[in-house]
Amino acid sequence: MAAEDEATFGLIPTVSRAWAKKGSKPVATINHEHKFTNVFGTRSRKTFVFSFRKRKKQKDFIAHLEMLEKRWRKVLLFIDGAPCHKGALVKNFIHEHKNIKLERFPPYTPELNPTERCWKPARKVLSNRLVKTLPNAKYHLRKTFNDKKTIPKMFHYL
């Protein structure tokens, strides 16, 4: 049993509050390239499984489902109403793969999805940081997602 969500991370950082010497004028150097990566993340009770994708399309969601099936064999996955979760490709894939069952969260309830809370530490790592390349950003994201201390605990209702 797990919950899935997707997020987009780019090279343009979020400027957030930081410490600076009193009287100084802090300067945040940023990269203005509009390059980004999408992350499909799945939160189970014990782990956080993620995969980087170029887009958030049905084929990318199916590739993430295949990865989960290889890892866990049987999957009960709670999903939201994202467009990549709907469509003929996903419906056919689920029909062919009996080990995967999808359940939907109620509409407009991101607070119920425990995966939503996993994006915050990753955004914090990339904030106020000059990241010049996409592989460098992915490195920081991987490091954050693989660290069990930074990923929030799972909700108990699932």
Is pLDDT at 158 greater than 60 in this prediction? no
Taking residues 26-43, report their average pLDDT: 84
pLDDT at 156 exceeding the cut of 70: no
* CATH number reported for the structural domain that contains residue 61 in this entry: 3.30.420.10
Binned at pLDDT 50, 70 and 90, residue 145 comes out as: very high
Residue 77: pLDDT band (50, 70, 90) is: very high
Question: How far is Cα 86 from Cα 110, in angstroms, rounded to an integer?
Answer: 17
Give the CA radius of gyration of the chain. Answer: 17
Residue 141 has pLDDT above 90, yes or no: yes
Q: Report, as an integer, the average pLDDT of 115-119.
A: 92
Q: Is the Cβ–Cβ distance between 42 and 63 less than 8 Å?
A: no
Least confident span in 9-23, 28-42, 51-65, 92-106: 9-23
Compute the distance between CA of residue 63 and CA of residue 60 in angstroms, rounded to an integer. Answer: 5
Q: How many CB atoms lie within 10 A of CB 75?
A: 19
pLDDT number for residue 89: 96
Question: Higher-confidence residue: 70 or 19?
Answer: 70
Total count of domains within the chain? 1
Give me the domain span that covers residue 114: 2-14+27-146
Structural domain includes residue 90: yes
Residue 103 lies in a domain: yes
**72 within a domain of the structure (yes/no):** yes
Residue 39 falls inside a structural domain: yes
| 89 in a structural domain | yes
Judged against a pLDDT cut of 90, whether residue 69 lies above it is answered with yes
Quick one: pLDDT at residue 57? 96
How far is residue 50's CA from residue 125's CA, in Å, rounded to a whole number? Answer: 17
